[in-house]
Structure 1
Amino acid sequence: MPIELKLILFATAVFVIGEVVARPIFARIRRAYGPQLARPPGDGRVAHRKGLLERLVLYIGLLLGYAVILAAFGAFKLGTRLQKDSGDEITNDYFLIGNLTSLLIVLADIIVLRLILGQRPF
């Protein structure tokens, strides 16, 4: 098997496993810090997909060696948060804990992948 294909398979497997682990973590964060509002049934899926996409962009950026993706991520998150709606019930704790958890999961994925590939994790 070519090395590039093996790397892609390992990287994909690590990301998917990280997402499986992340799902119950984010459910717990939502229960503890999230707004206690009645939501439409599809609303949780949209949030889950946005989070998955954010982590995927971070993961690919870090895999490619573009650490600047972390600054871009912060800028995007801050920019979307500044547009705060007066009826928004999302607390700053919920927002911060969710974002830091996303970053932690991506960084853990990168470390695990490097260990699998026999590279230095740091």
Structure 2
Amino acid sequence: MSGITDLSTLLASLEPVLVDGEFVYATVPPETMHDYLALKPIGLFFEKEGLTLILPREAAEKAELASSAPLRCITMMVHSSLEAVGMTAAMAAALTKEGVSANVVAANYHDHIFVPAADAERAVAALRALSAAAG
């Protein structure tokens, strides 16, 4: 099944879910990638500065990795298409109104937003309000 592309349908169907636990971003040398897969990162991205990992905070601390401040992950349960236009912008605008930083990761089925841990509940409320207004 391909994902939804219609913006109105996407927004009305966001269904944001706060994922358990805290996550951090950490960067390691790309050639050491296999050393860090046991930490069970939920995301990887190769950049010229190194390999960015998104991983559970506890795993990063145990491995003594320098990392970002703690983040919470909010997953949109709607199956969005990678070709959908406007969903990320609408979510970012809703979070901007609340003064919440948003780091968006689009995967094949769902979009995930990493927000500062202290702002997570407020971010979920803003996304639910966005969805209700669209529905």
Query: 1 or 2 for the larger relative contact order (CA 8 Å, sep ≥6)?
Result: 1
* Larger helix percent: 1
- Tell whether the structures are fold-level matches, with TM greater than 0.5: no
* Larger strand percent: 2
* TM-score normalised over the length of structure 1: 0.25
* TM-score normalised over the length of structure 2: 0.23
